[in-house]
Structure 1
Amino acid sequence: VSTRLNQIITLSAQKIRIDEAENNIHQTSGVLLNQSEELIRNYRRIADSRFVTPTTGLILGLLVFFVILAISFMLYRESTTGLAETEEQNEANQAAILQLLDELADLADGDLTVQATVTESFTGAIADSINFSIDQTRDVVSQINATAQRVSDAATGT
């Protein structure tokens, strides 16, 4: 009986502590509930007062993404167009250089009657300068021939 009595006393003491803890929890749970509700209200008030909401942020982010995408596309298109124009210009320049070299091939053999075609391309100025040089060389050769003829006439006349 005494063991049972000791057990009952021990269990009674534990029950009292459990009851006190339950009362303490019951009293503080109302305070915690009120504080939790206040925290939720404050969070909602702050979220509602923000200039940029998550939805607005998402929309602005997508807008920036599409603007960057459009700019990238325009830059790509512009660079490919510029590349095509540069290739065309290079081909035209190569053709003009080859034409000028073909026209001057006879000059290398001593033909001073050659005239290079003056065009609007960048080789036009070169062709004009070469034509001027050929004209000057032709005049010098004519003067040399005339002088040689006079020397020859003078030598045969004496």
Structure 2
Amino acid sequence: MEINEAKRAYDSIADNLNAILNKYKDYNLNIYFLDNKIYYIVETWLPDIGKNDYQLDLYTYKLEEHSFQISPVSTLNATIKLSHDYRIKTAYIDALDTVKELRKGHGTQLLKRFITIAKNSDINFIRGKLYRNTPIGIEDLKTFYSKNGFEVSEDRIYMLIKNVEEKIEY
């Protein structure tokens, strides 16, 4: 009897995962554990026609047996500029948000995944703008990015990923 219950639970989890993934056409999937629970990040890339630029969206979902909610726990939206026309390849974080009740590491997981993507894509810099009216407060937002390795100014974030080896003339 125990094996049948485990199989039903597994089938239910697989059905939940498939229901969420069916919302996306092309995606990559990454799994992480937080507080003894399984979460996964769905990563989608949308190319900009005519350029080698992309809109990258990362969505975190909780992997659970019964799907009570199929909306993301957290999201990160970014623009990645990879065209060879650019001497400096840059990723811009447009937005990072986590459901208020679940702000316990999911944003950090998304940011870590995004930094890995940037490193693997030969990005030189990650940049972003800080908005004063952020739900967590501007000082907490600055602390969050600083703890995750970013340089933080009054209204911007910045991370050097890869040094530019050639001198750039302006």
* Fold in common (TM above 0.5): no
TM-score, L = length of structure 2: 0.23
* Higher strand proportion (structure 1 or 2): 2
TM-score, L = length of structure 1: 0.24
* Higher helix proportion (structure 1 or 2): 1
Larger radius of gyration: 1
